[in-house]
Homo-oligomer: A and B are copies of this chain.
């Protein structure tokens, strides 16, 4: 079951603009209808708040464990994307965040779902 308590954070290193991107190429969950596994690539991109404002970044190993907690969860593409966005936003309260889930094809159709929160700068929108 997706478990956001697995995520740990650490203080962001400074107050200047900063962008972090983590790409997990080994994400898997389960289709809630068919019970077959789904496989996707998850991209998380965010800008932490500055240090003085209490900004934090998610710790990499804890993020891996959080992603692994979806392994046997029956959950739709759209829900995966929204849940991860919500959990990361709640854990880090970043200036902005993007979550992009890119799924392997099913029945000849492959899908990409994008969810955001906050004021994503123009240069990151649509990427």
Give chain A's interface residues, CB within 8 Å of chain B. Answer: 12-14, 16-26, 28, 36-37, 39, 57, 60-61, 63-64, 67-68, 71-72, 78-79, 82, 104-117, 121-127
Contact = CB atoms under 8 A, between A and B. Distances in A.
Contact of A13 (B72, B78, B110, B112): B78
Contacts of A123: 122, 125-127
A26 B104 contact: yes
- Main SS of the interface on chain A? mixed
Contacts of A39: 26, 108
Given A13-B78, A79-B13, A108-B25, A37 B68 contact: yes
Contacts of A78: 12-13, 18, 20, 57
Contacts of A61: 107
A93 B110 CA distance: 22
B121 A126 contact: yes
